[in-house]
Structure 1
Amino acid sequence: MIDVQGTAQTDPAGGGSHAGAEPLILVATSGTGGDILPFIILSQGLLQRGRQVLMLVPRFHEPRVAAAGIPCLTFGTDEAWQALLSNPDLWDERKGWGVIWRGLVPHLGALREFIAQLPAHESCVVLTHPILVPMAALARSVRPDLRIVAAYLAPANLCSSHDMLTAGSLRVPAWVPIPWRQALWKLIHRGWIDPVTLPHLNAARGQAGLPAVAHFFEHMLAAPSVSMGLFPSWYAPTAPDWPASFSDGDFVAPGAQCTATLSSELQQFLSSGDAPIVFTPGTGHQHAARYFTAALQALQRLGRRAIFVTPHAAQLPAALPPHVLWQAHAPFCALLPRAAALVHHGGIGTTADALRSGTPQLIVPFAYDQFDNGLRARQWGVAEVLLARRLSARRMQRQLARLLSSPDVARACSALALKMEQGPDLPWLLDRVEAALFAPPAMPSNPLRD
């Protein structure tokens, strides 16, 4: 079942205040904070342009969406979401996808259920995180012509054989022939993805009167009317095997989301010594005790100060020394320009924050697109990569020492920060999003495409 929160602009049972006017844009996303925030920023921008917007998110994220002033639908319960985050397999590169998928299965019909309640004359379109594309496609059983736009936060999720840097933690060298890469993807999908996802998905599609699909990721790539990247083409150029409808975009800049100031405690800490190293395993990671233990040991070897950022304090060492400050949350757009380096999991939002601020990065990937993001940042000369399964204090110390002392890294960080500063702004990206949603004759070009 879905729950409607703050939807004063929408009355699905009674005709709707926007019937015959603006189409309703349903913005669907799930995941941790890094998956939610870009869609919140886009939704706010669309609302400010006079668009009718309604977000669909897990109930756990409803307070954040409501605080941003966006009407929303929710699915699931806080308890179920907490159980998902508490599962250590969530951060296993082979098992994590199954944990996520099984959490979504009970709610595959949520978007379909809502759209079925809309008056037939009320127009709607869907902007969705790729993980909810199967949910959006199910809604075509009640709206066969439903326009679905998939917005990809990271290039790894497009599963290209032409631009395949990694297969999980396994690096794929440039010399590996395309047919071998295609065979590797086939092995991954048929061995690990399809057996987990297809039984549940095809059962839901059958109940909705839709035909079964043979391959999960092929369905995800083919179902959207349009696909677009929420990353710039210089970060990952369009690959030949991406959807034909794909259009490039840009990272979603924080904009008004970065109005928060640093806490007084954080301000005081920053002012009391050298620039610290910031450590975070991601907002949703609750199983990073080994990560923080290694970080503390590496800091002692380096003689550096640090800030540990995690809302889950139970995974921190029992007692932190005075040169290490814990913060549950911190606005990275304000913090990172004052940091010596950032050690993080390789989430695309955190990676972009560090690129934007010109901060050297040590990326410690656990699962998902994190491996690919780490290698892309490394190729640009702004990062080192230390696989989570190989994590040790000695390796962390060695990699950080190189990052902090390298003039080449400093120059590369400054160059990329300038590139991002001179790149497209949020209005340009919103133009791209509206073009994808409403299909005008042409879309504006990216001034930094090359």
Structure 2
Amino acid sequence: MKLSNLVKQLSKILICTRGSLGDVLPYIALAHGLQKNGHQVLMVVNASNFGVVNKQGIECVAFDVGQAADKQNSKDFKGLTQSLLGSLKVLRKLGKHLRQEVACIQRLAPSFDLILGSQTSLAAPLVARALGKTWVFSGVSPMAFISFIDPPYLHGLRWLGKDSMLPNWWKAVLQWFFLKLSDVIYVDYRQIEQELGLPHEHPLFAGRYSSWLNLALFSPLLARPQADWPAKTIQCGFVKETIRVAHQTHDVGLENFLASGPAPVVFTLGSVARVDPQDFYELALKVIAKLGVRAVLIKREGVPLNVDPSMPVHVCSFADYSVLFRACQCVVHHGGVATLMQAMAANKPSLILPRTLDQFDQAARAKKVGVAEVLPFMKLSELLLLEGIKRLLTGSSVEDDGSKKNTKSILQEDGLRFACLEIERLLLKLGANNAVLFEIR
């Protein structure tokens, strides 16, 4: 049997991810890339993203099929705050339905040759370990690869930051904190481990990473590989194609608006944060009026917003960021890594309003690179929003030379191609091993 034929047999790939739209879009791009190379792909996602994936021509299964997507998001994430306690509550909610997710993947995995899990899927490594399946871990943000050399910025725990004046033993404190924290948050994880007959491996450390391959799907501008990253980790770079995979019809109104006047300011929140925007859009309208600028507001369908028809504002529920950001002056957003990378690729400054989880870490890293201002969502006010946007528009808060270098660097990144290449190298390795076994038999 030829090696090429064996590799083709090892081309059924199960992609497991969950979370917000931003968590899923990179894997839609990966699925398309792998399909283009002739591989068979099935995605396991949460119900709120099933429709998005399905419309892309990708076979998919929702592990929480009994949940109504909008009601689920509204109930689980309404009232998000920037407090540490709020972030912990979000993590605990993300652990909901873990048992359902494990059961779904466990049912599907035996007929697949490779499992590709995201940083939001705790179930993928559990099932891979239980079934002895080859699997790949991947993360789209620096916090997917927790480093004590380049530690994440944790809101509410600034004293653990690497720039603090604490002695060297703080790293041990940080590691202890993560260990204890996840034991409290991921109670179901440990129970399921025991039910599957698995030894305990920490869900944020040893239990998360693969001994086969780990893919860092973010730009080295945000975080470079560290000595304490897991073995067999490859930094592929930003998967730029994430936003090009549009799941909505073409917005002619937005296209006409962009062509009808000066470049606008874009206001957008993540798909989860849009569930509970509080007074974000009302404050945005007040600031737009005072600045006298044109603007694009991206909000969730069904969220009421009264806009004076005379205002130069376009409101929509979806936009292709790779196109929109190139046509705007600056972007006011939540700090999701995909949104941030698109703004950097378009060479447009950001005013980041971090609210929970890894958004604070990404905001801090973007500010350090010199491409963003940061205004925590809880401190949001008309005055602070006005002043922040003014600084972006006058160019007094970002480094122009640095932005140009960053744009050139990001545009040269091809995370999708490199990720597919590394996955296929692993498949080739598995095919070679099978070829040896075949010859022995």
SS of aligned partner of 2:42: strand
**Is the aligned partner of 1:413 residue 2:407?**
no
Q: Percent identity?
A: 26
The residue type paired with residue 112 of structure 1 is Q
**Is the aligned partner of 1:93 residue 2:87?**
yes
Q: Structure 1 CA distance, aligned partners of 2:144 and 2:281?
A: 28
The residue type paired with residue 25 of structure 1 is I
SS of aligned partner of 1:174: coil
Q: Which residue of 2 aligns with 1:284?
A: 272
Structure 1 residues 40-439: aligned runs within 5 Å: 40-77=28-65, 79-86=67-74, 87=76, 88-89=78-79, 92-116=86-110, 118=111, 124-141=113-130, 143-144=131-132, 146-168=133-155, 170-171=157-158, 172-175=161-164, 176-190=166-180, 192-197=181-186, 199-213=187-201, 215-223=202-210, 225-254=212-241, 257=245, 263-285=251-273, 286-314=275-303, 316-317=305-306, 322-406=311-395, 409-424=399-414, 426-436=416-426, 438-439=428-429
- Alpha-carbon deviation of 1:430? 2.0
Query: Mean Cα displacement is larger for which, 151-160 or 230-239?
Result: 230-239
What whole-Å deviation, never above 9, does each CA across 1:377-433 have from its counterpart, x for those lacking one?
112211111111111111111111111111654443333222222334643342133
Q: Structure 1 CA distance, aligned partners of 2:325 and 2:211?
A: 36
Query: Mean Cα displacement is larger for which, 286-295 or 377-386?
Result: 286-295
Contact 1:60/1:78, CA 8 A, preserved across alignment: no
Q: Unaligned 5+ residue runs, structure 2?
A: 1-5, 432-441
Contact 1:169/1:387, CA 8 A, preserved across alignment: no
SS of aligned partner of 1:131: coil
Q: Structure 1 CA distance, aligned partners of 2:419 and 2:213?
A: 15
What whole-Å deviation, never above 9, does each CA across 1:213-233 have from its counterpart, x for those lacking one?
4x4322443455321100133
- Alpha-carbon deviation of 1:270? 1.8
Q: Structure 2 CA distance, aligned partners of 1:317 and 1:223?
A: 49
Q: Which residue of 2 aligns with 1:7?
A: none
SS of aligned partner of 1:353: helix
Query: Mean Cα displacement is larger for which, 257-266 or 395-404?
Result: 257-266
What whole-Å deviation, never above 9, does each CA across 1:108-136 have from its counterpart, x for those lacking one?
222112224x3xxxx61111102214443
Are residues 157 and 174 of structure 1, via their aligned partners in 2, closer, same or farther at CA, if it must alter by over 3 Å?
same
SS of aligned partner of 2:370: coil
The residue type paired with residue 38 of structure 2 is G
Q: Structure 2 CA distance, aligned partners of 1:315 and 1:189?
A: 42
The residue type paired with residue 419 of structure 1 is S
Q: Structure 2 CA distance, aligned partners of 1:78 and 1:320?
A: 40
Query: Mean Cα displacement is larger for which, 359-368 or 155-164?
Result: 155-164
Q: TM-score with structure 2 length normalisation?
A: 0.85
Contact 1:343/1:363, CA 8 A, preserved across alignment: yes
- Alpha-carbon deviation of 1:203? 2.0
**Aligned length, in residue pairs:** 414
The residue type paired with residue 148 of structure 1 is W
Q: Structure 1 CA distance, aligned partners of 2:72 and 2:94?
A: 7
- Alpha-carbon deviation of 1:165? 4.2
What whole-Å deviation, never above 9, does each CA across 1:40-86 have from its counterpart, x for those lacking one?
11111111111121111123322222222222222113635434311
Q: Structure 1 CA distance, aligned partners of 2:378 and 2:117?
A: 32
Are residues 44 and 104 of structure 1, via their aligned partners in 2, closer, same or farther at CA, if it must alter by over 3 Å?
same
Q: Structure 2 CA distance, aligned partners of 1:356 and 1:258?
A: 18
What whole-Å deviation, never above 9, does each CA across 1:85-109 have from its counterpart, x for those lacking one?
1132556323111111124343222
- Alpha-carbon deviation of 1:174? 2.0
The residue type paired with residue 420 of structure 1 is I
Query: Mean Cα displacement is larger for which, 336-345 or 229-238?
Result: 229-238
Contact 2:16/2:118, CA 8 A, preserved across alignment: yes
The residue type paired with residue 417 of structure 1 is T
Higher relative contact order, chain-length normalized (CA < 8 Å, sep 6+): 2
Q: TM-score with structure 1 length normalisation?
A: 0.84
The residue type paired with residue 163 of structure 1 is D
Q: Structure 1 CA distance, aligned partners of 2:184 and 2:415?
A: 41
The residue type paired with residue 89 of structure 2 is K
Contact 1:84/1:103, CA 8 A, preserved across alignment: no
- Alpha-carbon deviation of 1:167? 1.2
